[in-house]
Amino acid sequence: MDTEDGSIVTSVARVEAEQGLRRTLLFVTMPGSVADCLLYAIERELPWLVIERVEHIQAACTKFSHPVSLILIDPEHVKAAEDAAADISRLHPLALTAVMELDSHNPSSTFPEIFESKLIRGVLPMDLKLDVWLSVIRLMLRGGEYFPTGLFHSYADKFVRNSTARPANSSASSAARNTSEDDLSDLTSREIEILEMVSRGLQNKAIAAALGLSEHTVKIHLHNIIRKLGAHNRTEAAARFHDYHKPASKPR
């Protein structure tokens, strides 16, 4: 049954706000990475929520004015969050922690990473329609877990690719090539696109302009690329991309 404002949830939220039953929604992300329209929608539809924003996991490991019900983090902060899981759970025992994904069809987080996590209990796609996005926020605030279908599809596709038998080849160059292929299979189509541009010498600003993304988004993608490849920096990641695409030497 709908109310004049759109939903029973909104009315209940306003009653809670009037009674002073406020909770905190904590973003762990760089300034400007969450669109102002999304923050405005939260404040309008969930007035009982207090939005707090910090740039690092360490800053989240503290008490806030109101109990934290939901912690939303950038993918680049997942490892730091895992390392601080005990402190986060102790300081915010009522909070559900979820990763914000820029592209629900090509998530940067992998299925095993999420389901083996000690802390992460959901994935919030940032490209959903506003009403759906708010519904997922409401679900998570109640402790409900949410995972986009793209997360499952990307894992299933990778599983099928890796299960396909490859012809045995004892040559060193072929073995190195297969290793590179396995590494690249962990990347999403967007990450491969960005890695290809990095391999051509493009900087973050140029990549962002070419793909219609923010520099912060490109930085997050690069962080995930480097982590997945086990590289030390963007130069090494680009070198691996070049090695994979280098023509294999013909056996003599």
pLDDT per position as a tens digit, 100-156: 988 766 666 666 677 778 899 899 988 889 999 999 999 999 999 888 776 666 555
Return the C-alpha torsion angle 39, 40, 42, 45, nearest 10.
Answer: 180
pLDDT of res. 2: 40
pLDDT per position as a tens digit, 172-226: 444 344 444 556 777 888 888 899 899 888 888 889 888 888 888 888 888 888 8
- How would residue 158 be classed by pLDDT, with cut points 50, 70 and 90? low
d(CA 82, CA 120): 8
Is beta strand 96-101 parallel, antiparallel or unpaired with respect to 68-73?
parallel
Nearest Cα to Cα of residue 178 among 187, 186, 169 = 169
Total-model pTM = 0.61
| Pairwise pLDDT comparison (179 vs 57), residue with the higher score | 57
Average pLDDT, the chain: 78
pLDDT per position as a tens digit, 69-87: 999 999 888 889 999 999 9
- How would residue 24 be classed by pLDDT, with cut points 50, 70 and 90? very high
Structure tokens at 199: 């391999």
pLDDT of res. 215: 84
Q: Could you give the C-alpha distances from 212 to 20, 105, 216, in angstroms and in order? A: 42, 17, 12
Domains and CATH numbers, the chain: 8-149 (3.40.50.2300), 171-245 (1.10.10.10)
Say yes or no to pLDDT of 243 above 70: yes
pLDDT per position as a tens digit, 94-105: 999 999 988 766
d(CA 123, CA 72): 9
Find out whether 173 and 249 touch, Cβ atoms under 8 Å. yes
Q: Specify the residue for token string 């919030």.
A: 124
d(CA 27, CA 122): 14
